[in-house]
Structure 1
Amino acid sequence: MIPQLIEFNGEVNPTIAAATPQTQTLSNDQSAAEEKGIPAYSAFAIPFIENRIDKWQKKDSYETLDEYRARMTEKNRDAKIAEMQRLAQQEYISKYESRVNLRHLELKPYDADHEVFLVTSPVLGEMIVPVPRANNEARIFASNWNGMQFKDPQYFIDKDHLALAKLTIITPSGKQYQYDNAAALNYTATNVEVHFDPITANMLASNENANKQTVQQQNVKLGTSDVDENIPENPTSNTKTFAVVIANQNYSNVAGVPLALNDGLAFSKYCEKTLGMPAENVRYYADASYGTMLRAMRDIKNIASAFNGDINIVFYYAGHGIPNESTKDAYLLPTDADGTQTEGCYSLNKLYAELGSTKAKEIVVFLDACFSGSKREEGMLFCPWRSAEG
């Protein structure tokens, strides 16, 4: 076995290499070379050199023993191996360079930053060719690629395989470019991702003679609004704050109150998320009858009694309000009342008195109602106490 011929990492021994490899960012595809019938250099060179060294090491029958001993020194053997290595390289290149078809060279995208093209071969791997950008020279080079001539290729052994050391590339107009593997060049393949917003009709430039008339579209959203959806959240926990929320929208005997139920639900969410009340502390009553309103007040008074008044109370009402023009009193209108009999309505004086009786630390009352006799949105509800004379 010939020592120090091929390193096991695939690198050719320095005595074999004929040129310094060009700096590249991509590795050669040597499997393609093997498919073309070009073996690895070591597979060719080792038996080639061993066969010749074996013959050289044998004693010639016409050679004296002293002559043989003088010839068979370590120094002479190393020199003979180096000679055989050079011969093996020459034989390998001569034998397999004819199997390389330079017409199969493929031009890759231009690297404008380094002003180079990448050229690939299924046998020889990647090569970097310098081409200037100025005066559109690189563009012209690329457009003429299919008509290029390739002359004077020079080969060497690189990483245990056949490689191209130099090549002259000639354009149809006769301009020459040189590939030189010893030139210190770099090629970077750049992949660009674009994340701009898609083009819309509004981005297109308008014509000066464009129609000056304007047609608009308006979207009206009922039931929810930004106020209902974008509710701020507060991490504070108010376990001793209770809310009574009454939302009366659908009345049996009078016109309804649009969106009252939505307002009540939205206020309940604010109590939980913004004011930090636990969900069970928010008592929500939808379309409350007179009996339901009585029960709601009894419930909050019982809670206050259980806490000995050590609570805060928030009261919210959305719905119709009714005035009594004779007594100047105001009433909340339950959904089962019509306002003609105040006995079936909930007096504000009664409301304030019962809330005050809880002895809560703080009481806040929100009334989303009109007590003038008009509906909450527009128009009159009715005025049962107005005299016939007006």
Structure 2
Amino acid sequence: MSASRFAPPSPRPEIADSGLTRPDWVGNNPRDPGKLWLDKNENTDPAMIELVRSVIASVPADAGFTYPDLGPVYRKLAPMVGVPPQCLLLTPGSDGAIRAVFEAYIAPGDKVLHTVPTFAMYGVYARMYGAQVTGLEYRPSNAGPVLHADDVVAAIATSKPKLVGLPNPDSPTGTVFSQADLRRIIEAAGEGGALILIDEAYYPFHAETVLPWVMEYPHLVVCRSTGKAWGMAGVRVGYAAAHPDVAVMLHKVRAMYEVGALSAAVFERMLDHEDAMRESVARISAGKAHFLAAMDELGFQTLKGQGNFLHVAFGARAEAIHAALAPQVYYRKDFAEPCLKGFSRFSATTAELFNPVIEAIRDVVKGEGQS
């Protein structure tokens, strides 16, 4: 009997939407391990990589064949971030925390306000759950992308969203709002009856945080990643922090187990190494400053940003520099968005790892100067 006469039922209209597409999950080419990976804002600090490797090696074998017991992780994490365990939700990366917020609170037709450009999954989840999106556009300027707190507050009042998504720092822009501006924005969202999600995936590269404010503002959710500062992008652990009344709703939409036993075991052990994490952040931040100083010295426009990444505009030398760097490093060469047009983005790394990249760029500049 031929199976061709059978057809699956129709998916939800939001999923059938032709505008909702995802990258190819089979045909992607793996990155060359011989190159420096500065394209996805991972932690490439060799000391941190070695620490994560040793922690993974220390995980007992039973973590591979048992279901996770996550209570100890919640109890260990809570005092480190300054909220009760009942305020936390472990997730598969901060991406999982963002999805949990959408799944718990957004129904078809609800309004969502988020920055543009920003982390791609805000737009994906908005489509998945049928939201009406208002985009907060960063404007180009001589100093880089610009979005003022007054614009955010005004957009909240005008669009009356159910959810405001605001990464701080934002990506790919690297922009941040001050604590005073964040308080204004959070209070504007509360007055408008909206939930507000502050995405702190790059903490503590940008050390200011609003996470403890979740006990003050019941409509505030903060999410974090371990893929940046903690060097665990492959472990896929993140978390959300929220007032207990919101946290219990987020837990209602979680999977049977929030993260796997292997990931939980690595994360729990890594929490003993907070000092090492902060030392790695310091090394990478120093490397970022070193690279930026070299680019400034060569006369290129730079955007310093507040995440573990930076931007450089190579101008008329861009094509030659991209060709010179192609054999040794991955990075984002350019952006379609007007606020970042002409800029290349590099994930930050240590000064030692940046030095060959700097030298290759210097060689191009010297070579053109002699031609």
- Category of TM-score, reference length = shorter chain: under 0.3
Question: Could you tell me the TM-score, scaled by structure 2's length?
Answer: 0.25
Higher relative contact order structure (alpha carbons within 8 Å, sequence separation ≥ 6) = 2
TM-score (structure 1 length as normaliser): 0.24
More helix by share: 2
